[in-house]
Every structure is written in structure tokens, then in C-alpha cells.
Structure 1
């Protein structure tokens, strides 16, 4: 099922992996953050929908492994089963919790947290 603007459908974003994980300073997190988008009524997966993962921290506690650009967000399309995942994440300088807001058209945002250890 492809998502098209104007259908009036509502979607739900479900955390699907990489939540509550930990890494040391400048170390890779073991897993990417993964979310699944489903139709709110039918619970069927939504394919080819852009999903944005954006960290809500000014301290750069976690960075996307993308050549070191330090961008605070990444947008990827859902696969045929409704899953989208980030590139690999690298822990930054600051210890603490990094919160990611996950958004997609037609869906309320959800939040996923990961932790940089001291």
C-alpha cells in the first residue's frame, strides 16, 4: 500500500528497534533506530512513506554515521512492510539521553530515547 497525499488516512508510528540502547563516548550504537508505520484503522503497513528521525538535543549526544556532516535529522522511506530505519548512530561528546522525534505525514510523532554512557 503506497501513501498518497489527500487520501485522508491516518497512520501510527510504532517504535520497532534500537530503543533504550547505550554506547560510550564516540562509540557506535549497536543498532539503528527503527520504526514501523501502519494504517491507524486497518493496521496494515504503509510503504514508501517518508519518515524523519530528528534528535531533539543541542548537545549532539548522538550523530548519524553519514560522513560526519552532523545533520540533526535524516529522512528515509518505509519499506514494503512499513519499516524505516536510521543509518548507524555514533555517540557524541556529551553523556546523557538523546531523544529522537520520529515523524511521518498523517501520523502523530513518537519519541525514542538512547543513552550515551559516562
Structure 2
């Protein structure tokens, strides 16, 4: 079933950690980004699904370890996917990440680099 058919998304992305945290310039954030993928109807976890964490801010506020702007991981048996560690850049502000998984509406996660 597709969203175009009016049935909605088959899966949902639930924030499960990391969003809303703060770090100083060039510091590693305390927690990686974490999402949970569940079946939209039964709210049961969905295992072995590819989840992509993509940085979509145009300044250098935060990147994954290794200066990567995107990370893809698979969900575990409980439906959780965790990004690599995030490292703050030198510019203060909010970094926005879009989290996507097949069959689910995208979800936005945010972290902040403090002055």
C-alpha cells in the first residue's frame, strides 16, 4: 500500500535519543542520534531496515565522526538504529538532520553547537 493510495505510511520513525542535545565547538556530542522504526498499524518494531541519517544544514555545525554528512545503519531486533558519534564544528547554531527509512515519512532531528 502506498501513501498516494491514501493509506498512509507503512512505518513510522520515532526519535529515540540524541536530538535536542548541546555541545561546544569541536566537542563530541554526548549521545549519537537514535531512531526507532515501527510498523504504523501495530506499532511493533521493524528489524533489519536501512535507516539514513543525513545532515541537511549548509554550515559546518555538526558532522558524524570522519567528517561524514550521511550515515546509514540497519535497525536491530527492537527496531533501533543508532548513528555514529556526532562532532560539533566551529560555528555556533543548530544542525538539522533528516532521518529516513523506506516506507516511513522523514523525521527531523536537531542538535545545537553552543558558543
Q: What TM-score do the two structures reach when normalised by structure 2?
A: 0.90
Query: 3-state SS of the aligned residue for 2:106?
Result: strand
List 4+ stretches of structure 1 deviating above 6 A: none
Cα RMSD between the aligned structures?
1.0
Q: Separation in 2 of the partners of 1:89 and 1:26?
A: 10
Show the counterpart of 1:62: 62
Q: Separation in 2 of the partners of 1:10 and 1:93?
A: 39
Instruction: Report the count of equivalent residues.
Output: 107
Q: 1:74 aligns with which of 71, 74, 98?
A: 71
Query: 3-state SS of the aligned residue for 2:105?
Result: strand
2:95 matches 1:94: no
Q: Separation in 2 of the partners of 1:111 and 1:39?
A: 19
Q: What TM-score do the two structures reach when normalised by structure 1?
A: 0.88
Q: Separation in 1 of the partners of 2:60 and 2:40?
A: 33
